[in-house]
């Protein structure tokens, strides 16, 4: 087998379980491997670290798939890994109606995403190595999940970095791409063709449900509401009223549709606005809301944007804290993995200090169990959902 040797001192992160080898960490490549080949990764002294898919075009030059010498990536291994991922969801999720079946590196299938929305499955292959097994992936998904339809969402920009074309469409027979599914006992509209990512954000499912016992009889603001997931769960939890704010008119249209499907249309006020402006106009008039949910899009797309992102997170949390009365609840989220849990806590702490308010941390939550967090791979812990009481 061809091998990639790391430069002196550059092996520690990979040895601790991280599945990415950056191009800048590589000292030598032996055996003339081709892009997509499976290669061994060794440290500067030749000690085996793992093996994975090579792509010299990508900054992620090797995506490690196993830590066992001599293993070859073949159809059998891919099928075994997908099967194990599905068994993991069946073991730990009470309901697998809507869930992520495969979460890339965290399921030892680097670059592969498989999402299940009822009886429809969406597949993404975001790396060259795993994309070579497309037919195996589709066949395994059909055998395990028996979906009525499969949709390819390989329109992600990251594929350009891998030298792969963007594309999307039906895998096999066509079917309606916009439909409803059940989540937390609610009816939710999913659009696998035009929706964000693979069609719907299933990673917040458990966090949305955790809102319910906190909102009974309360007035709730759902900021960055998107298609209304937190708003619906607030209503299901007995909220007195919900105001849902988002800058996207298209997202709000779907949120209104979701509210109508669940009988909440007359109890949720939808507002199309820039959330920063909305909060800024209200932070000097506390008491309008008892619970505020902040679930913004990723502010930090990369390390270079982290400083600006921290300012953005601080601003929205500062204004939300000012708006809440004593005993009010703040549910604040970040889906930027560059915004680490420690840094996110620090940002909220700074916001509370500037607002001259005290906070109690009630819960620190992450993404759902169908998005497992792999120890040694911090990027797999990307979603933070912290719940505070303002005192």
Tens digit of pLDDT for each residue in 193-221?
999 999 999 999 999 999 999 999 999 99
Q: What is the pLDDT of residue 148?
A: 97
Q: How confident is the model at residue 1 (pLDDT cuts 50, 70, 90)?
A: confident
Collapse the DSSP code of 118 into the 3-class scheme (helix H, G, I; strand E, B; otherwise coil) and give the result. coil
The pLDDT of residue 303: 84
Confidence band for 184, pLDDT divided at 50, 70 and 90: very high
Active site residues: 335
In angstroms, the Cα distances linking 10 to 42, 43, 135, 150, 255 are 10, 8, 35, 41, 47
Cβ atoms of 85 and 109 within 8 Å: the answer is: yes
Question: CA–CA separation, 249 vs 241, rounded Å?
Answer: 21
Question: What local confidence, expressed as pLDDT, does residue 19 receive?
Answer: 98
Task: Report the pLDDT value the prediction gives residue 391, as an integer from 0 to 100.
Answer: 94
Mean pLDDT of 352-366: 98
Residues of the chain with pLDDT > 70, as a percent, come to: 100
Report pLDDT for 15: 96
Mean pLDDT calculated for residue range 233-239: 98
Q: Does pLDDT of 287 surpass 90?
A: no
pLDDT in tens, 306-336: 999 999 999 999 999 999 999 999 999 999 9
Quick check: 258 pLDDT over 90?
yes
- Give the position of tokens 């819960």: 363
pLDDT in the model for residue 302: 85
| Residue whose tokens read 């970040």 | 334
pTM: 0.95
In this predicted structure, what is the pLDDT of residue 226? Answer: 97
Listed in sequence order, the residues at least 6 apart from 269 whose beta carbon sits closer than 8 Å to its beta carbon are: 241, 242, 243, 244
Question: What pLDDT, on the 0 to 100 scale, is given for residue 286?
Answer: 80
Is 323 within 8 Å of 286 (Cβ atoms)?
yes
Q: State the pLDDT at residue 284.
A: 81
Report pLDDT for 368.
96
Asked if the model's pLDDT at residue 283 lies above 90, the reply is no
Q: What are the tokens at 56?
A: 């010299």
Mean residue pLDDT of the chain comes to 96
pLDDT digits (tens, 9 = 90+) for 111-167: 999 999 999 999 999 999 999 999 999 999 999 999 999 999 999 999 999 999 999
Distance CA 363, CA 176 (A): 39
Selection from 5, 11, 12 nearest residue 26 by Cα:
5
The percentage of residues in the chain with a pLDDT greater than 90, rounded to a whole number, is 96
* SS3 (DSSP) at 339: coil
pLDDT at 149 (0 to 100): 98
8 Å CB contact between 359 and 388: yes
Question: What was the pLDDT predicted at 362?
Answer: 98
> Which residues does residue 283 pair with via DSSP β-bridges, in sequence order?
none
pLDDT at 190: 97
The pLDDT of residue 301 = 81
The pLDDT assigned to 382 comes to: 96
What radius of gyration, in Å, describes the C-alpha atoms of the chain? 22
Res. 250: pLDDT tops 80: yes
């Amino acid at each position: 087998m061809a091998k990639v040797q790391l430069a002196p001192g550059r092996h520690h992160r990979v040895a601790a379980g991280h599945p990415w080898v950056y191009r800048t960490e590589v000292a030598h490549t032996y055996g003339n491997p081709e892009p997509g080949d499976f290669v061994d990764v060794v440290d500067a002294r030749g000690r085996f670290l793992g093996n994975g898919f090579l792509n010299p075009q990508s900054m992620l030059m090797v995506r490690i798939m196993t830590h066992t010498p001599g293993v070859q990536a073949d159809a059998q291994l891919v099928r075994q890994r997908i099967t194990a991922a599905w068994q993991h969801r069946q073991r730990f999720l009470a309901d697998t109606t809507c869930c992520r079946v495969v979460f890339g590196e965290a399921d030892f299938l680097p670059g592969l995403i498989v999402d299940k929305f009822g009886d429809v499955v969406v597949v993404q292959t975001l790396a060259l190595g795993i994309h070579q097994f497309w037919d195996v992936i589709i066949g395994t998904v059909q055998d395990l999940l028996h979906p009525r339809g499969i949709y390819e969402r390989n329109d992600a920009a990251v594929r350009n970095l891998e030298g792969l074309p963007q594309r999307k469409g039906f895998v096999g027979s066509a079917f309606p791409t916009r439909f409803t599914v059940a989540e937390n006992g609610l009816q939710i509209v999913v659009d696998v063709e035009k929706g964000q990512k693979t069609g719907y954000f299933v990673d917040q499912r458990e966090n949305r449900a955790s809102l319910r016992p906190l909102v009974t009889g309360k007035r709730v603001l759902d900021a960055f509401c998107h298609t209304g997931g937190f708003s619906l769960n607030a209503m299901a939890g007995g909220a007195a009223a919900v105001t849902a704010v988002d800058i996207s008119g298209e997202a709000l249209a779907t949120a209104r549709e979701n509210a109508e499907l669940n009988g909440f249309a007359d109890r949720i006020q939808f507002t199309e606005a820039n959330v920063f402006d909305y909060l800024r106009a209200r932070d000097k008039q506390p008491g309008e809301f008892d619970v505020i949910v902040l679930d913004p899009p990723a502010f930090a797309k990369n390390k270079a944007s982290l400083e600006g992102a921290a300012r953005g997170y601080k601003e929205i949390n500062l204004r939300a804290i000012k708006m809440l009365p004593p005993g009010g609840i703040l549910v604040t989220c970040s889906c930027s993995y560059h915004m680490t849990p420690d840094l996110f806590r620090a940002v909220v702490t700074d916001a509370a200090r500037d607002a001259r308010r005290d906070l109690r941390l009630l819960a620190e939550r992450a993404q759902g169990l169908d998005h497992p967090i792999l120890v040694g791979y911090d990027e797999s812990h990307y979603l933070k959902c912290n719940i505070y009481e303002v005192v």
